[in-house]
Amino acid sequence: MITEEEFEQEVQFYRQAIVETAARADPRFSWENEAPELFARFDALSRDDLTHFRQLCGRLLQDEQYEVRLGTIQLLKSCRIRDNELSFLLMYIALKEKNLREEALFALWRVGTRAVLPQFLRFADQGYSTALYIVRHLLRTPEEIEQGIVIARKYIDAQDYELREAALFLLQKYSSMEREAERVLAAVQKYLDELFIAALREAPPDIVLGPLKALRATIEAKYAEYGDLSATIQKLEQKKAAEEQQSGDRH
């Protein structure tokens, strides 16, 4: 069992190593690549002694030095661990430190559990795309799913692409194009995103086929969006023809 003195020595080792790494690391890349030896030691501890690892992270995430808190989050972003206690630690940072919020939420993508789902939903409702992406994987109960759907509808045509993409993914998983066709169509008319255009292939033709044809008429054939719209229109026309054939057969 590690002594208090040994623990303090370990904390100081990580503090110094994190500060040194932060001074030279490229913020675009993970510390798994930027500081492989430091990360390997950190990651090994998470697998070998989770209790000790939690204690270490708790100290480092409460460190008075901003660079130490940020660096600890950077290390956690590359860990492959799901843990309630670590989720609470990171969510506390996200709630209390706005300048570290995005980093903490991103780390929660790897660490986060359903224990902090209410906080994820709160951030998703505030328009944080990372939280909305994460929520999609954590919803379970009918009440949670309905709450997620309401939030996704709110942002399906958001100006930020990642936010509206996260909204689309959630609606595709938990709702249907029968229910969401008009909302997704409005986003297509506004932004012409390829993923949204493709999503409308599952929509009722009577709702979206006419507007999509009208939209295509405003775009020159040389642009990619024209091809995307044409492919979706073709699928919808085939779907409509099949539905009409089935209706005719029944009569």
Given a contact cutoff of 8 angstroms between Cβ atoms, the answer to whether 120 and 94 are in contact is: no
* Low-confidence residues of the chain: pLDDT under 70: 248-251
Rg for the chain, CA atoms, rounded: 24
What is the predicted pLDDT for the residue at 251?
Answer: 58
What is the predicted pLDDT for the residue at 247?
Answer: 73
What is the predicted pLDDT for the residue at 249?
Answer: 65
Q: Please state the separation of Cα 65 from the chain's center in Å.
A: 28
What is the predicted pLDDT for the residue at 59?
Answer: 98
What is the predicted pLDDT for the residue at 159?
Answer: 98
What is the predicted pLDDT for the residue at 246?
Answer: 81
What is the predicted pLDDT for the residue at 28?
Answer: 85
Here the tokens at position 10 are: 């370990």
CA distance 251 to 246: 9
Question: Residue 21: how many CB atoms within 10 A of its CB?
Answer: 18
What is the predicted pLDDT for the residue at 42?
Answer: 97
DSSP state of 62: T
